[in-house]
Structure 1
């Protein structure tokens, strides 16, 4: 019988969460680099390049890969010949580790978990509780697979109850395009098959903990029908032409994982959960001899990527910009933004809506007339940082507020990630405004373009407050131009045809 000390377990949870906040798994880095080398769409290639540059910067600087540092999920297997030296529950001990990790003063992680989600939605202020799955297994050790999952990818999770004779591949091919680009491809798709609806979802989540090995599988060939299904799904998803960040291209996923479980003869539960470009997970085992020792990866394992700033890249200045100048920008064009922008996301937009509906003025310092807004909830800064990692959040969540912001608040430009809905595209066209896309999964890289930052309103909302950023050469892509042309529509359509032709 091995005794696991509570202090060792809590420390291991905290250390592992800090570790995955700034170190991508090296198998994922390798797979993304392979995708970068293969990519033929320059816009997608540049997006993947930013993801790789950001990854290396985070590994060196030990700062979060993404500003959304996620909700914690832990799969814990407890050996039957293993016990703890305390009476605390597993939930209490895991949450203590989460609390230590997320409130670490050297590398604070964003606190995104809210309690009472159907009603008050109040932030728990320490990112607890974690979601835990446990299993008693033979042996005298404790094994933990732990992940931090961001909302952008988790929100795209799907589950279906198919008939036993239905095609899983066809369902996935129909489903993935409905997910848009808010899950920040290129990433990994986890598929859970069997059990019940709830079991299928857990299987899909757990499958994402497996190593990235699709390139090795392609090279050696499938050894069984499940591996054949993995390859078929991998090729089918990439054949959709969605590409990095939804811009169109050869690689939408760098791997597909499958886990299955026996099910009822009348059922075929299938779950799909994507992991984004900020894939974060690790694994450790405790045997009573001390806390987990997590290996520091060799920084030389990351590729050296540099992004060019050739003639196709346009440097623009936002202070005093006019709609006439914006009208010259074209969908798919790369811009380097300079000047002052305001920020705002879900909670801030709700408050603005309430104020406008009540005929009240916006807070002092909040004037969107002729301005750009950046949909972001940054990590707190440390040391001499102006702001912590500050990548974009999913823009479609702000679609229901867009007409209000353009028509009543006077906004002329928006920056976020992923596509916009049809109604929003029409509103952008009607008002002669623009929507630009920053790369999801490149939060630390983006933050280096922010030279000044201050809270101007709704400070009580924490990371959802309205900030004013002053940016220098912040890289973005014009995703919807003033004529209503949307790169998230044209790009995948073009590259799906190109891939089919190949």
Structure 2
């Protein structure tokens, strides 16, 4: 019979969340390295290189892999013979661990959790509460899996109630292209099959926490239907040609994990949850001997990678003109320097409301670029913490307004733009540039100055002014409305030649 002390669980949760904020799992590094070595698409290969360089930098600097440090999910199995030396409930202990982790002064993590989600949506300021799933099991230990799931990948979660005779493979191949690149591929697809609707979703989330072992499975061959399904989906999803960051290429998923559970004879519940390029999860067991040990990985686990994206055009954002912007080509690599403004969902909504009331905006967007980002707070001598892009499609409904009413010249974000935003970009002869999701710390090193210039009460969603130097971006939608997120995957599907080109993103 084990005696588990309250602070041992609290500190173990806090340590695990800090650990996964800056250390990728070794299996993930190995899988991305293999994808980078095999990739033939120059744009995708450069994106993979940025992810690997960023990952090593984070391991060395102990700073977050992604500016979106996630909503915390905890899977707990409590042994029935465990005794507790605790005054707090299990959930209270876990949430105190989350609080300690996200407020750690040496590595502040971004608080993204909002209370009153259908109302005021106020930030809880410490990223609590976690989403906790608890099982009571035989034994005298406490088994814990801790994960931090980014909003961009969580937003692409899918569920369907298929008929028993329907094909899971067909549904996945139809659905993955509709997810776009906001989940930051390449990553892992977690598939949950069976049970009820909520059980299938939990199975899919649990599947995302498993180790990458698809190459070992390919080598030994499948032993059951779930493993056959994994292999088929791994091959066919990669044949879609979506590629790293949706730019078109050979690797869209690093693994497909499948968990199942008995279900009703009339049903076939299927859930799919992607895990992004900031894959973050850790497993530890408490047996009464103290705080869980989480050994630091060796830096030898990371490859020495250099970018090979070809010659990039240098752009001065302080002098760039509308004529210059119209000359940029889809897929072109740029290194941008100068002054840019930032803004996400909340800032755009406030701008919209102010313009509707005829109020003057607190900042001048004329001739400027806006970067869709919510940075991590800086520590020590940092100008800004990790500051990677957020999913651009969330700003699509504001794009025409921003281009029409503010004189904005262009936008920088993550992943594709939808039809409405592309049409607005074309109409106003503007441009959309893409930065790599999953390279937040690398991007932050290009930011030389940072200050809040408006809406300070919005926290990480406030409008900042950044001065950047050689920030790497790709022309994703040009002034003529051509999108590399449409052309890239189509070209690579044609080259791979195994999936009909009629499969298009929604």
Scaled by the length of structure 1, what TM-score is found?
0.98
Partner of 2:416: 419
Structure 2 distance, partners of 1:166, 1:264, is 15
Match of 1:498 among 491, 495, 500: 495
Quote the offset at 1:223 in angstroms: 2.1
Aligned to 1:449: 446
- Residue 164 of structure 2 corresponds to 164
How much does 1:501 deviate? 6.0
Give the aligned partner of residue 330 of structure 1. Answer: 329
8 Å CA contact 2:309, 2:333 repeated in 1: no
The reply to whether residue 220 of structure 1 matches residue 217 of structure 2 is no
By how many angstroms is 1:83 displaced?
2.0
Deviates more, 1:213-222 or 1:276-285: 213-222
Report what 1:234 is aligned to: 234
- Partner of residue 265, structure 1: 265
CA deviation after TM superposition for structure 1 residue 277, in Å: 0.2
Cα offset, 1:320, TM superposition? 2.5
What does the per-residue CA deviation read over 1:306-355, in whole Å, with 9 as the maximum and x for residues that have no partner? 11474x31111110211101111000000000100000000000110011
C-alpha distance in 1 between matches for 2:113 and 2:419: 30
Question: Hey, what's the Cα distance between the residues in 2 that align with 1:28 and 1:167?
Answer: 29
Per the TM alignment, residue 87 of structure 1 is displaced from its structure 2 partner at its CA by 3.5
Contact 2:449/2:468 (<8 A) preserved:
yes
> RMSD in angstroms over aligned alpha carbons?
0.9
- 2:317 touches 2:336 (CA, 8 Å); kept in 1? yes
- Match in the other structure for 1:107: 107
> In the alignment, what sits opposite 2:23?
23
d(CA) in 1 for partners of 2:286 and 2:139? 12
Residue 50 (structure 1) aligns with: 50
Q: Deviations over 1:234-279 (max 9, x none)?
A: 1111111100000000000000001100000000000000000000
- CA shift, 1:388, in A, is 0.1
User: Using the alignment, how far apart are the partners of 1:248 and 1:84 within structure 2?
Assistant: 52
1:480 matched to which residue of 2? 477
- The whole-number CA distance in structure 2 between the counterparts of 1:298 and 1:254 is 22
Question: Which residue in the other structure is 2:435 paired with?
Answer: 438
Shift of 1:492: 0.3
1:451: how far off? Answer: 0.4
Farther-moved stretch of structure 1 (300-309 vs 285-294): 300-309
Give the structure 1 partner of residue 502 of structure 2.
Answer: none
- What's the CA shift string for 1:406-440, capped at 9, x where partnerless? 00011011000010011111111111110000000
Unpaired runs of 5+ residues, structure 2, are: 500-506
Aligned to 1:340: 339
Unpaired segments of 5 or more residues in structure 1?
none
1:81 aligns to 2:81 (yes or no): yes
Q: Do 2:388 and 2:441's aligned partners in 1 also have CA atoms closer than 8 Å?
A: yes
SS at 1:498's partner residue?
helix
Matches within 5 A, 1:389-404: 389-404=386-401
Answer whether contact 2:239 2:498 (CA < 8 A) is retained: no
Runs ≥4 residues deviating over 2 A: none
| d(CA) in 2 for partners of 1:102, 1:31 | 28
Output the CA distance in 1 between the equivalents of 2:399 and 2:420.
9
The answer for the alignment partner of 2:319 in structure 1 is 320
Question: Normalising by structure 2, what TM-score?
Answer: 0.98
- Residue equivalent to 1:386: 383
